[in-house]
Amino acid sequence: MRIHLTSVFVDDQAEALRFYTEILGFVKKHDVPLGEKDRWLTVVSPEEPGGTELLLEPAGHPAARTYRDALVKDGIPLAQFAVGDVRAEFERLRGHGVHFTQEPLETGPVTTAVFDDTCGNLIQIATQAQ
């Protein structure tokens, strides 16, 4: 068994696609229309194009919005992405205007930082010391 797909809820799929590809550096994998405005829209890491897909899922359902908003209010990230160097990625993303709610923080062998993805979510990036 392996993880094939996970998702983040987004307010605007077009804006989410722009942020996740142009700012974070993911690449679009699937873009399938679903009705008038929604799409099955996934991105993947360019380092693992056959790896786990991230679904940019519309947050239209009231339960999804409530859940996501409660996480943001409490400062809890919805997802975590591995990066080679949190501090370098923090500087790169901050240079693109990304707002961080937690600057790089070392907690034992792991360094993390948390940012707002502009789509309604907090995302944590992490590096584990070798």
Query: What CATH number is associated with residue 121?
Result: 3.10.180.10
Number of domains making up the chain: 1
What is the model's pTM? 0.93
The gap from C-alpha 100 to its chain's centroid, in whole angstroms, comes to 13
For residue 6, pLDDT over 80 is answered with yes
Q: Residues 65-84: what's their mean pLDDT? A: 96
Q: Residue written as tokens 């790896």?
A: 51
Sequence-distant (6+) residues with CB within 8 A of 85 are 127
Containing structural domain, residue 84: 5-128
pLDDT of residue 26: 98
